[in-house]
Amino acid sequence: MTAVDSAPPVITGCPDSQTYTIPIEMSTIVVTWTEPTATDDSGAEPTVIRTHQPGQQFGIGTTEVIYVFMDAAGNEAMCTFSIIGNRVYLDSCCTSETTYTLL
């Protein structure tokens, strides 16, 4: 009898969403995070496909980052989080800063 692997990989360390302030003189900012990892009950290392990597540039707005881990049997597990880029503007009437999140 052959065992059938129906269990997806187990993800460890899926980051929380992160919010950054992009200085007014810049259009993007470099964002880093610790990448998630995954293990599989087969003992083999799952393959990973990611939409973004740490150290990439991110602009204003919300970007969804997705990691998909797949084992040899085709079982998948997914980790998603958002990178949110805000812009700080100085109000023309005041000396205080106002932060806007553009979606």
Q: What is the CATH number of the domain that holds 18?
A: 2.60.40
Q: Is residue 5 domain-resident? A: no
In this predicted structure, the answer to whether residue 103 has a pLDDT above a threshold of 60 is no
- The pLDDT value recorded for residue 4 is 81
Domain coverage including residue 62: 10-101
Contact criterion met (CB below 8 Å) for 73 and 6: yes
Whether residue 51 lies inside any domain: the answer is yes
| b/e code 48-83 from CB counts within 10 Å (16+ = b) | beeebeeeeebebeebebebbbbbeeebebebebeb
Nearest to 43 by CA among 78, 15, 3: 3
Kindly report, residue by residue over 22-44, the tens digit of the pLDDT. 988 899 999 999 999 999 999 99
- The more confident residue out of 92 and 47 is 47
The answer to whether position 18 is within a domain reads: yes
Domain count, the chain: 1
With bands split at pLDDT 50, 70 and 90, how would you rate the model's confidence at 98? low
Query: Does residue 32 belong to any structural domain of this protein?
Result: yes
Q: Which tokens hold the place of 88?
A: 């700080």
Note whether residue 37 is domain-resident.
yes
Is there a domain that residue 1 lies in?
no
